Amino acid sequence: MRDPLPRGSLVAVTLIVTLPVMVMGWYLLANPSILPPKDFVEYWAAARVALDQGDPYDGEQLLPLQRAAANEPDRRDAVMMWNPPWTLPVYYPLALLSPRPAQLLWLALQVGLIVGSSRILWKLYGGPREHLLAVPLIALTFYGSLWTIKYGQNTGLLLFGLAGFAYFDSKNRPALAGACAALTALKPHLLAVFGLLLVLNVMRPRGWVSLVAGGAVIAAGLGVSLGVNPEVLNQYLSALRRPANETSIPLSAWQVPLGSFFLRQAIDATQFWIQFVPCAIACIAYFGYFLRKRSRWNWAAELPCIVWVSILTAPYGGWIFDLVVLLVPVIQASTWLANEGRASAIRLFAAGHLVITGLTFVLTGRLIRYLEEFWWAAPATLILWLSAWAIVKRETLGTNPPRVP
């Protein structure tokens, strides 16, 4: 048995890792103009309003807090938090802190979740242990990760929900799998196909355990929210029906970087329901597919394509920071190439990965001015993933061969 790491060495390693993090945290805390809060203010302000017995979905109540938190006294529109009421308990602890410390804590959590989820996925898809140190590099050079950090978004939680579900399902731990899957309900519109399949999973042995566990976590979140504010569910439903006003913009008025939005514009821009048609078609198709394959269903193998279809047919959202969930197929493709050991293919994949990420920043402020103009990012990553699939022969991929959607 290998001797454990000497205590002195352990202390040294801890200091080497901790001290730079502490210095960076102090520097960011002292310089609020670096990494301004952006979308983070929606979570912090909504939680603060909810804890004060207000309406967390009312732009008029959110706007004063967001102006102060972002140091933007001239801000005209509130950044609305459209996450359902059962998600509010995730944000309540943030409201107990001042905005800047809460934001930095939130960013640290998102980075940890993104890196941790990527390591889980690497292990799940059989990535070689000797390349494990490359996983954080892959994860943190992915544009979805960087834009999540830049905007202070919550999608690291969704990625962890997907990775944790697939991992615990592969270990036959359905309750833990379902509890992780509940995190994807932070943005249920983004992973609707996954949500449907989770319900259909009750047809498989012990699949009902995952569904009950996930439902229990969501119910507990809703119960806490209702305990804090008994009117929060009605307030959320009212906000969904509320027309545009001086302080907030409804969901139907957003231009989003999705094919469903372009479809609506081509048919009738006034009909918001059109954006749900591609998602409905995808759900129907996957319903039939699951019924045919449920006896041989492998969540780990199916998950990357489920994520692809969910993102490409989403009814709204799909912003560049939402695309951090595409690390599921990106990590999968990385394990294919790492196991094959083809240096040229690995270099090409890494170059494509970095080029796409670089373009999202280089083009910003030049050819791209608004987030909805990043409609090309997900298709570009899909091409990269399919290229990896084409490079690696199907028969060499072991028990988790790639499937083309």
List strand residue ranges (DSSP E) for 301-396, in order: none
Q: What is the rounded CA–CA span in Å between residue 364 and residue 190? A: 24
pLDDT at 21: 57
Percent of the chain with pLDDT over 70: 88
Name 94's Cβ contacts closer than 8 Å, sequence gap at least 6: 43, 44, 47, 102, 105, 106
Asked if pLDDT for residue 354 goes beyond 80, the answer is: yes
Q: What is the rounded CA–CA span in Å between residue 329 and residue 385? A: 7
Asked if pLDDT for residue 184 goes beyond 50, the answer is: yes
Of 18 and 213, more confident = 213
Neighbours of 89 (CB within 10 A): 18
One-letter identity of residue 269: A
Asked if pLDDT for residue 94 goes beyond 90, the answer is: yes
Neighbours of 244 (CB within 10 A): 12
Mapped onto helix, strand or coil, the DSSP state of residue 397 is: coil
pLDDT at 12: 53
Average pLDDT over residues 96-111: 94
Asked if pLDDT for residue 400 goes beyond 60, the answer is: no
Q: Against a cut of 0.85, is the pTM above it?
A: yes
Average pLDDT over residues 72-95: 92
Contact, 164 vs 118, CB < 8 A?
Answer: no
pLDDT at 252: 87
What is the residue-averaged pLDDT of the chain? 89
Average pLDDT over residues 334-356: 90
Asked if pLDDT for residue 404 goes beyond 70, the answer is: no
CA of residue 301 relative to chain centroid, distance = 19
Could you read off the pLDDT of 285-332 as tens digits, one per residue?
Answer: 999 999 999 989 999 999 999 999 999 999 999 999 999 999 999 999
- The confidence band for 212, taking pLDDT boundaries of 50, 70 and 90, is very high
